Homo-oligomer: A and B are copies of this chain.
Amino acid sequence: VTSEAPQPRSRRERPAKSALTGPGIVATAVEIMRGEGLGRVTMRRLAHELDTGPASLYVYFRNTAELHAAVLDELLGEVDLSPAAEPGEWRDRLVRVLTSYIGVLYANPSLARTALVVRPRGRHYLDLVETLLAMLHEGGLATGRAAWALDMLLQFATRALRAVDEHRYPRTAAAREELFSGTPETRLAWNFQVLLNGILATPVPR
């Protein structure tokens, strides 16, 4: 079950001295996750797979949570962002991207749990945020509402956004201030109003 492609890092073929690299480690971690679930992606198990001791991995990851976050972001690279650039209603395209996001998360349930716990800040996650914000702007939402809406849409399946790389993601950076505006109570109240207004405005199909 665990050996589909030739393993580049098998214990057999590698020299005694390992050449650890961040991406290589994450790739191996993803392999373990696909084969056995995130619960088996432990420092010790991963180190064993890489023919080294667990201590070696602490050069690359401060702790296990950081390792899992790296695995999550790697998987987020599979989210299909292409609908954003296609023709058609922005709402439909937005839903297509979000559905792809949820699909990736729920393809591996243990991973979905991580997404609910860690605060993502990896490249792929930020690409997703930037793409979603672009579509909300396209839909005519002002910065403030777009930021809150983004937050809510993602929180709906996962959790709130925390930090962004301002340089790399201009639109995200622009929305940042709005993203953190308001008290937690105000935002929560707004969230519930959105839900209730939406519920009242949206009959169940059929």
Q: Is the CB of B156 within 8 A of A196?
A: no
* Interface magnitude class on chain A: 35 or more
Considering only residues 63-120 of chain A, those with a C-beta below 8 Å from chain B are 91, 94-95, 98-99, 102, 113, 116-117
What is the CB-to-nearest-CB distance from A67 to chain B, in angstroms, rounded to a whole number? 17
Question: Contact at A113–B102, with CB atoms within 8 Å?
Answer: no
A186's closest neighbor in chain B, by CB?
Answer: B205
Q: A202 contacts B188, CB within 8 Å?
A: no
Main secondary structure of the interface of A (DSSP, over half): helix
Judge whether B116 and A195 touch: CB under 8 Å.
no
Residue of A152, A153, A201 with most chain B CB atoms under a 10 A cut-off: A201
Q: Determine whether the beta carbon of A195 is less than 8 Å from that of B148.
A: no
Please tell me if the beta carbons of A204 and B152 are within 8 angstroms of each other in the complex: no
| A91 adjacent to B195 (CB under 8 Å) | no
Interface flag for A144 (CB, 8 Å): yes
Q: State in angstroms the CA–CA spacing of A18 and B126 once bound together.
A: 54
The one of B144, B189, B201, B205 that contacts A198, using a Cβ cutoff of 8 Å: B201
Contact check, A95 vs B192: say whether CB atoms are below 8 A apart.
yes
Bound: A188/B192 CA distance, A = 18
Query: When chains A and B are docked, how far (Å) is the Cα of A203 from the Cα of B155?
Result: 19
Query: In the complex, A190 Cα to B199 Cα: how many Å?
Result: 9
List the B residue with the shortest CB-CB distance to A194.
B198
CA distance A152 to B195 in the complex (A): 8
A196 to B189, CA, bound (A): 17
* Beta-carbon contacts under 8 Å, A139-174 to B: 141, 144-145, 148-149, 152-153, 155-156
Closest CB pairs A-B (n = 5): A198-B198, A194-B198, A197-B201, A197-B198, A149-B199
What are 19 contact pairs spanning A and B, CB under 8 A?
A: A95-B192, A98-B192, A99-B188, A102-B188, A113-B117, A116-B116, A141-B199, A144-B204, A145-B203, A155-B156, A182-B204, A186-B205, A190-B205, A193-B198, A194-B195, A194-B202, A197-B202, A198-B198, A201-B201
